[in-house]
Amino acid sequence: MVTIGDFMTRDVITIDADQSTKFAADLMTYHKISCLVVVKDSLPVGILTERDLIKKVVAKDRDSKLTSVREVMSSPVHTIAPDQHLGQVSQFLKNHGIRRAPVVDPHGRLLGLVTQTDIVKETEKLHHEHQRLMWYQNFQFWIIVVCVLFVLFLIYKMFFSSVFPLP
């Protein structure tokens, strides 16, 4: 069974809560990501998304150089353990109405990040693997059918061809 630890993003870009939202936006732009995990002493304390920046800074016409990440981050952050299965993760995100969650160890330290996009990609991989296995099973079935027909033909040739000749 596939767990989060198998497909989570391990190289998570983090930020301190006291940094400016301008710095956060620049960091997201540079790394081409849509969120930052806000940490204090390696523990996630919040998450800052593009949506947070738009709704809480841009739409309210706040100065991004003077607005701290702490003021607009989503907190408390919902975290998840790396041993959770794909279905459990999907249900967790749905139940909490979130699109991403930091993955933490038993001590709460950040290990990675899982997003809806990660789940879709992993589900797609599993779907393609399932299709490949189904094709293989169908192929095996037809090989068996051909072998059985060949054996029946040999039996006919050996025992019945003189009694019941083919037209």
Arithmetic mean of pLDDT over the chain = 89
Quote the CA–CA distance of 74 and 45 in Å, as a whole number.
9
DSSP for 2-13 reads -BHHHHSB-S--
- Encode pLDDT of 12-56 as tens digits: 999 999 999 999 999 999 999 999 999 998 899 999 999 999 999
The CB density around residue 118, as the number of other CB atoms within 10 Å, is 18
In this predicted structure, the answer to whether residue 161 has a pLDDT above a threshold of 80 is no
Average pLDDT over residues 64-75: 95
Pick from 40, 37, 119: nearest CA to 78: 37
Domains of the chain: 4-115 (3.10.580.10)
Collect all residues with Cβ–Cβ distance below 8 Å to 146 and sequence separation of at least 6: none
- pLDDT attached to residue 142: 83
Q: Which residue has the higher pLDDT, 152 or 23?
A: 23
Q: What confidence category does residue 166 fall into, taking pLDDT thresholds of 50, 70 and 90?
A: low
- Encode pLDDT of 86-115 as tens digits: 888 989 999 999 999 999 999 999 999 999
